[in-house]
Structure 1
Amino acid sequence: MYKKYHDQGFEILGFPCNQFDQQEPGTSDEAASFCQLNYGVTFPMFAKIDVNGKNAHPLFEYLKNEAPFRGFDESNTAEKLLKIKLANEYPEWLVGNDIKWNFTKYLIDENGQVVNRYEPWDEPIDFEQDIQKLLKN
């Protein structure tokens, strides 16, 4: 999808974070290389940051404030399982708008306004229409 819309002004930015089961243990460069090799990532990858807690990057504080967490749909197995994992390992993240897990995504318009938040279980194809709508404006 990235390649399909990149020439129309759409950009994806990646921010590695090691707060989720230490899934990004290496350096920022190692994280970028891993994503390129294993997922074919071609979009810009930034330095590793924290997205939750007292060291959360200000960008993610802004994003979380502008697009609150919508809650868990416990009829969705992936959401229910993540909620259980968080309750056991990161209970502080269940409350409020913290990022719940890697691959939380935000759609931001050309003026920097947050349009929507998509959770880890939301696949890009599921919100492609939202992207198309922004590109047409």
Structure 2
Amino acid sequence: MSIYDYNVTTIDHNEVSLDEYKGKVVLIVNTASKCGFTPQYEGLQSLYESYHTKGLEILAFPCNQFMNQEPGTNEDIKQFCSINYNVTFKILNKVDVNGENTHPLYNYLKSRKKGVLGGRVKWNFTKFLVDKNGEVVKRFAPTTPPDKIKKFIEVLLTQ
């Protein structure tokens, strides 16, 4: 299995097969608009602008499971990201990343790279880096700023 076996729904309610990202490096992040890490949207957008033409995709999955830090509707989230951070990478439908309603993609991601809480996502802005073959190669803590991931992305883009 790989991420290519999953479908996701965009913030505009369109279903997308992740096999559209074959041959790309993908950074998957669970996000929130009212979190102390929310300014990481700026760093994520910077990574996207720097590396998108070289093969990087960023998929942001809003999540309201951590102290209700993403309470808005899809339209609220989309507007927030656009107005405050000029986000141009893909924002997906709000999902659960832990618990009985966990999105199947997140069950897969967590099974491939465990974190400090084992098979759980610790907090908003946990990041999973996926290589061009759809394999999860690295997991980054919420405290890891996007610019610290740059060197890993660069390596994967040249492979």
CA separation in 2, counterparts of 1:136 and 1:7? 13
Gaps of 5+ in 2: 1-46
Which one of 111, 114, 119 corresponds to residue 68 of structure 1? 114
Q: Which has the higher strand share?
A: 2
Which one of 117, 134, 144 corresponds to residue 122 of structure 1? 144
Q: Which residue of 2 aligns with 1:40?
A: 86
Q: CA deviation at 1:113?
A: 0.2
Q: Percent identity?
A: 50
Which one of 36, 58, 71 corresponds to residue 25 of structure 1? 71
TM-score by length of 2: 0.68
Q: Point out which structure has higher relative CO (alpha carbons under 8 A, 6+ apart).
A: 2
Q: Secondary structure at the match of 1:12?
A: strand
TM-score by length of 1: 0.78
Do structure 1's residue 107 and structure 2's residue 153 form an aligned pair? Answer: no
CA separation in 1, counterparts of 2:86 and 2:141? 21
Which one of 96, 118, 121 corresponds to residue 96 of structure 1? 118
Gaps of 5+ in 1: 72-94
Q: Which has the higher helix share?
A: 1
What amino acid maps onto 1:118 in structure 2? Answer: F
What amino acid maps onto 1:35 in structure 2? Answer: C
